[in-house]
Amino acid sequence: MRGSWILGAALTALASCTAPTPSHGPISRRPNIVLFVVDDLGWQDIRVPLAEQPTAFNARYRTPNVERLAREGLAFTQAYSAAPVCTPTRAAIHTGIAPARSHITYWTLRKDTDTSANWPGLVPPAWDLNGVQPQDTTLAALLSTAGYRTIHVGKWHLGAVGTPGSDPRALGFDVNIAGHGAGAPASFHGTQNFAAPAGKGDPVWNVPGLERWHGQDIYLDEALAIEAVEQVDAALASGQPFFLNFAPYAVHAPIQPNPRYVGNYAHLDAREAAYASMVETMDAALGAVLDELDRRGIADETLVVFTSDNGGLSAHARGGEPHTHNAPLRSGKGSAYEGGTRVPLIVRGPGIAAARRSAQPVISSDLFPTLLAAAQVELPHDGVTRDGLDLAPHLRGEAPELERVLVWHQPHFWGARGPGIWPYSAVRVGDWKLIYRHHDRGVELYDLAHDLGESVDFATSDRRRVEELSGILGEELRSMGAQMSLEEATGEPIPWPDAVDQLGAFGYFEF
């Protein structure tokens, strides 16, 4: 039987088991929270246009449920992930701490093991190899203490395999379904048990906890959608408000087609058709949850947040020309450029007017204080500095757009070759973005208001602004205790960006 039949039949069966609940007016109690964080979904990988004009990529994908969310809520057109790879962003969401401050600056896998690739002449600093651990204060732990039923479904990848942080239940979740220390599945297919064949591949990528679906012709994120709906119903039966952290494994590699949807993309090459079917699968999973909120009459009292953990994959594993899949943004996942960090962010819920757009620059760590404020939970008084901004006034349309300082810091080489894929630090102030390349100490300066594709570098022509933004970036990094890349020959950190004479810095080169 096909995965589509299983998904539809299972959700129908669930609907028959529980009676609808009347819809509520303005909410007088703490809202339920659904945080839907997609893996590697690019800024253009949805039909909702976030640029000034719709793009060819917007038109490519079928995402009716994301469109529905945007019609009913607020879409941020300038939202960013905290990093161009997954673990640092997910850590920033769940702790409110930017990667430069937490030292979780790269993706984790096994305990005490560095996953960084080698860049000639540089080595990464002594970063936090194990990710988020029980001693860290997390969003789920705070919500659980405040009386929420906390549910994780899907990809976790906050703590390394072999550490307590690899299990969401050690970090505040009451329920964990399919989350563990690895950040990708061995397979998206239930017929393959979401695992590599026996004796082949590394079992670290096998998805745990989904044995009920083994051997069935169902796609991974379809199974997760059914599990998520069941957990919503269980939470309602408990009488507690709930926090559902739903993190689809799609659209991360391996790029594997969902037979239910791949025929919709016959005009694309096989790899891109497979990718598009994964996007549509993700959207259907979102739709399953939204439909259940409607059916149970709790949509008006549930805050729904939809976003991605980094920019879209483009350097490898895709069809067509590399580094172009996020156009008009430059490059993609792993990159210092906008394609690496600009992501969708759509929010729907109590007090949020429908069909609004905001150009306010926002970043992943903002979700921590925003969701706590929505749940009427105070920020922890634990002496830890957090980096997010409570977006509640912006969600309600009560605050003007602010000129913010946003910082990115990745003293690691991702491994894939491509534009902007090197160890770097960067800052955005207003519409201007400065990138500090660790390998040659050079900088690049872009006017994002007029050059979204970062094609015109003002670093040599606007020395005053380079000096100003280099100073801001240096101050921010020092205040966060950021760890710079190390010189391989000496073991010493490279200079801060404002300690380099940019007039004498080496010229730009790609590796």
Per-residue pLDDT at 239: 95
> In the chain, what is the greatest distance between 2 CA atoms, to the nearest angstrom?
71
Mean pLDDT of 256-274: 98
- Higher-pLDDT residue of 49 and 25 is 49
Residue 25 scores a pLDDT above 80: no
- Number of other CB atoms surrounding residue 359 within 10 Å: 9
Outline where 154-219 has alpha helix (H).
none
Question: Quick check: helix, strand or coil at residue 419?
Answer: coil
Per-residue pLDDT at 199: 79
Per-residue pLDDT at 227: 98
Ordered by start, the domain boundaries in the chain are 3-17+31-395, 405-504
Considering only 8-12, 159-163, 432-436, 474-478, which range has the smallest mean pLDDT? Answer: 8-12
Q: Which fold has domain 3-17+31-395?
A: Alkaline Phosphatase, subunit A (3.40.720)
- DSSP secondary-structure letter at 177? E
Residue 196 scores a pLDDT above 50: yes
Percentage of residues in the chain having pLDDT higher than 90: 90
Query: In this predicted model, what pLDDT tens digit does every residue of 415-433 receive, in sequence order?
Result: 999 999 999 999 999 999 9
Residue 372 pLDDT grade (very low, low, confident, very high; cuts 50, 70, 90): very high
Q: Which fold has domain 405-504?
A: Arylsulfatase, C-terminal domain (3.30.1120)
Per-residue pLDDT at 34: 98
Provide the β-strand partners of residue 435. Answer: 426, 444
Residue 28 scores a pLDDT above 70: no
Per-residue pLDDT at 501: 83
Query: In this predicted model, what pLDDT tens digit does every residue of 71-92 receive, in sequence order?
Result: 999 999 999 999 999 999 999 9
Two domains, one topology: 3-17+31-395 and 405-504: no
Q: What is the mean pLDDT of the chain?
A: 94
Contact call for residues 287 and 296 (beta carbons, < 8 A) = no
Considering only 6-15, 163-172, 368-377, 423-432, which range has the smallest mean pLDDT? Answer: 6-15
Helix (H), strand (E), coil (C) string for 103-151 = CCCCCCCECCCCCCECECCEECCCCCCCECCCCCCCHHHHHHHCCCEEE
Residue 131 scores a pLDDT above 80: yes
Per-residue pLDDT at 24: 32
Residue 29 pLDDT grade (very low, low, confident, very high; cuts 50, 70, 90): confident
Residue 388 dihedral angles phi and psi, to the nearest 5°: -85, 165
For the chain, how big is the Rg over CA atoms in Å? 22
Question: Quick check: helix, strand or coil at residue 187?
Answer: coil
- Cα–Cα dist 343/41, whole Å: 7
Query: What single letter denotes the amino acid at residue 265?
Result: Y
Query: In this predicted model, what pLDDT tens digit does every residue of 138-173 receive, in sequence order?
Result: 999 999 999 999 999 999 999 999 999 999 999 999
Chain center to CA of 361: 16
Per-residue pLDDT at 19: 42
Query: In this predicted model, what pLDDT tens digit does every residue of 102-127 receive, in sequence order?
Result: 999 999 999 999 999 999 999 999 99
Chain center to CA of 73: 19
Residue 252 scores a pLDDT above 80: yes
- Cα–Cα dist 386/92, whole Å: 9
- Number of other CB atoms surrounding residue 326 within 10 Å: 27
Residue 505 scores a pLDDT above 60: no
Run of H or E including 81: none
Considering only 273-277, 365-369, 505-509, which range has the smallest mean pLDDT? Answer: 505-509
Residue 7 pLDDT grade (very low, low, confident, very high; cuts 50, 70, 90): low
- DSSP secondary-structure letter at 466? H
Per-residue pLDDT at 198: 84
Per-residue pLDDT at 503: 57
Percentage of residues in the chain having pLDDT higher than 70: 93
Per-residue pLDDT at 13: 52
Residue 303 scores a pLDDT above 60: yes
